[in-house]
Amino acid sequence: MTDAMPGTAVPVHLRAAGVSLVVDAVPPGLPRVLHWGRDLGDLTAESLVAFRDASTPASFSVDHTQALSVLPTGRECWPGTPGLVGQRPGPADGGSCRAPFPDLRSTGPVELLTTGPDGGGLRVSATDPEAGLALTVELSLDPFGVLRTVLSITNTGDDPYEVDALRVLLPLPPSAVEVLDLTGVWCHERSPQRSPLVHGTHLRANRRGRTGHDATLLLTAGSTGFGFRTGEVRSVHVAWSGNHEHLVERFPEGAGLDTAVIGGGEVLAPGEVVLAPGETYRTPEVFFVWSGDGLDGVSRRLHRHVRARAVHPRSARPLVLNTWEAVYFDHDLERLRTLADVAAAVGVERFVLDDGWFRHRRDDSAGLGDWYVDETVWPEGLHPLVDHVRGLGLQMGLWVEPEMVNPDSDLARAHPDWLLTPGAPLARSQQGLDLANPEAYGYVLDRLDALVGEYSLDYLKWDHNRDLHVPVHAGRPGLHAQTVAAYRLLDDLLARHPALEIESCSSGGARIDLGILARTHRIWASDTNDAVERQSIQRMTWLLLPPELVGSHIGPARAHTTGRTADLPFRAVTALFGHAGIEWDIAGCTEDELAVLACWIRLYKELRPLLHTGDVVRADLADPGALLHGVVSADGTEAVFGYARLAPTTDSYPGRVRLPGLDPARSYRIRPRYDAGRPELFGRAAPPWLREEGVVLPGTVLTEAGLPMPGLRPSSALLLHLTAACPVV
Ligand code: DGJ
């Protein structure tokens, strides 16, 4: 960190974990990011000042060239998507709209919030007294090199100011030529798509009212052909579960000293945020991550950031049995008790009763909102089941969907005005509940509080099963208020029950973002438990989240969602790399299947300290039908890899496959783990290292030459466990 003394014209230099952020924040200008990328070392004030040297402006463009501010607008000749859009509506008699192009100027020197070798933070305040606006810009670099940004705008005028957009945009250098983001649908979330970074706007705007099955998770721009292990990349993530956008944008004149911009923010509907005098709008946190070694480098920084948060679960992640695919709505006490017995016998640690336990909920068309145990199905309440589960030594979890209501419910009949958008088209026969209505909010909070208290619940599976396309609160667009209220509901419930854990589920994986994860303890990655699909979904989910936050369950041999069949060993290796569980009616399993499950659960318990603390690594294989991923301990002494064949290959043998992330200065004992069964091999000549006792090989061989892989049948996987043998002398 190089201090910029107040009043001096020296850019601020924040450094952490191989990242440098150089910010020029000289009044009256807004802060400008001169460099965000590889660590530049200890820079003198003179060299920092030299950053300001600009290239010559092109003919017929503006007569000066300068770095864009973090809030670029037409004021600084930025022709692209503006950082701020808002208006102070004119008087009712038709007078003109005021403050359309505010001229925000910083009011003083940069405020250094924290400084040190592990990053730091700064704040800059700015105003436009004529427009009646005050802006605050916060930038901080955490010890892992993750850059957090928050902007806030305050109405200092004496009449309302409407905020239509407030977004953060950071510069991208000319080396950023390709864009990668994700899309998807129910049961096929987080499907990657790649495109060249051309002139124009690559905008991923979400107006679904939830993060979405097609959410990009991370929007990444990088060097030619960047992959998991190579390339210089820059990613952005907007930590928000309501409407939001990520964008990359490039124009012929470039972006000041750079070529393009990357950023994002919340998507606001007209009239959604109208600030009364003195009111402030804060953007969600927008995170930016640079990596010089591909997407794995981005994930490593983000996983460390996520693991350092206070809300991050610190206890061993219990092996879950969730009842959804086992029984669906067939809630029968004896059947569920038997399921719990079998679960306990194989080593399950948490039993979660899914949808179907509350009043009128015999299928998915009715009952949401009636958060009382259905007396017709559960005459003694849930106590007989909960007591049984606890008697077996398991934790107890329950499914809820607090933000929703079925029109066919006692709640909707009693309070039709509590519906978020009365009369809007239904989805899954349901509608949003207007949580910004204090009475509706109070009812749901009290019901959840009562249920968690009565049954001492350890866990809630918190679902959200529809897009909210036209949320209206008090006659105005209400998604912002709904999202804020949903966050508050989670926060208030956790304040009353600090030991409670909550899963963010949304028709599978439609609510995965760091906003919801600031108050939840894992996500449900997808409703598909088809292991072939799961291999790709989990791999891309790890872009943002470490495995311990990603629910990954073994389903039955024939996947309910796709109809595809897969052997148990493949399903087991696939589900191991996450917060593992079971989504299967194991009361109907054979003795052999139960024995395999018990071994797999023992393996999960053995490996979870590594799986849930190490660094995720993913190989860039040329073979399009195979995937290799692993987790390597931070000290490089232990690793576990999964090598999966998803589709046939035209090569007879896959050849050598490099194992990424290992320490080349060590040797490793490599053991295939057949705890959950052996995969079927193609061909007779299996490499000698596949013997159960394994082999010892130097890290250099494993990382540079690679391991000769056997041919595997499609839909099968190998699990490799590596432990450091001895240092190479
Ligand atoms: C959607 C979830 O994704 C499923 O796992 C299940 O909980 C159902 N909702 C229940 O309605």
What structural domains and CATH numbers belong to the chain? 2-88+98-307 (2.70.98.60), 320-404+441-468+500-608 (3.20.20.70), 616-727 (2.60.40.1180)
Q: β-pairing, 655-657 with 638-645?
A: unpaired
Write the residue with the smallest CA distance to atom 6 of ligand 1.
324
The structure tokens listed for 286 are 């927008």
How many angstroms separate the alpha carbon of residue 604 from the centre of ligand 1? 25
Give the model's pLDDT for residue 36: 96
Interval 516-571: pLDDT, tens? 999 999 999 999 999 999 999 999 999 999 999 999 999 999 999 999 999 999 99
Give the model's pLDDT for residue 542: 98
**Mutational pocket test of ligand 1: of 329, 358, 399, 511, the residue with most ligand atoms within 8 Å of the beta carbon:** 399
Write the residue with the smallest CA distance to atom 10 of ligand 1.
355
Whether 663 is catalytic is no
Interval 23-66: pLDDT, tens? 998 888 899 999 999 999 999 999 888 877 654 444 445 555 56
Atom of ligand 1 nearest to the CA of 527: 3
Q: Which stretches does DSSP call E strand in 471-549?
A: 472-473, 476-477, 501-504, 522-524
How many angstroms separate the alpha carbon of residue 524 from the centre of ligand 1? 9
Q: Lay out the sheet containing 12-16: strands in order across.
A: 12-16, 19-24, 32-38
pLDDT of 684 strictly over 70:
no
Q: Name the average pLDDT for the chain.
A: 93
Interval 587-615: pLDDT, tens? 999 999 999 999 999 999 999 999 999 99
**Mutational pocket test of ligand 1: of 329, 507, 523, 560, the residue with most ligand atoms within 8 Å of the beta carbon:** 507
How many angstroms separate the alpha carbon of residue 453 from the centre of ligand 1? 23
How many angstroms separate the alpha carbon of residue 503 from the centre of ligand 1? 12
How many angstroms separate the alpha carbon of residue 463 from the centre of ligand 1? 7
Cβ contacts of residue 477 below 8 Å, gap of 6+? 268, 269, 270, 271, 272, 471
* Angstrom distance (rounded) from CA 331 to CA 302: 40
* Angstrom distance (rounded) from CA 467 to CA 203: 20
Ligand 1 neighbours (beta carbon < 6 A): 324, 354-355, 364, 399, 463, 465, 505, 507-508, 524, 527
Longest dimension (CA), the chain: 87
Tell me the Ramachandran region of residue 655: left when phi exceeds 0, alpha when psi lies from -120 to 50, beta otherwise: left
* Angstrom distance (rounded) from CA 613 to CA 145: 18
Residue of 55 and 90 predicted with greater confidence: 90
Whole-prediction pTM value? 0.96
HSE-up of residue 675 (Cα within 13 Å, Cβ side): 19
Whether 39 is catalytic is no
Write the residue with the smallest CA distance to atom 11 of ligand 1.
355
**Mutational pocket test of ligand 1: of 354, 358, 506, the residue with most ligand atoms within 8 Å of the beta carbon:** 354
pLDDT of 257 strictly over 70:
no
Q: Which stretches does DSSP call E strand in 48-92?
A: 84-87
Interval 618-637: pLDDT, tens? 999 999 999 999 999 999 99
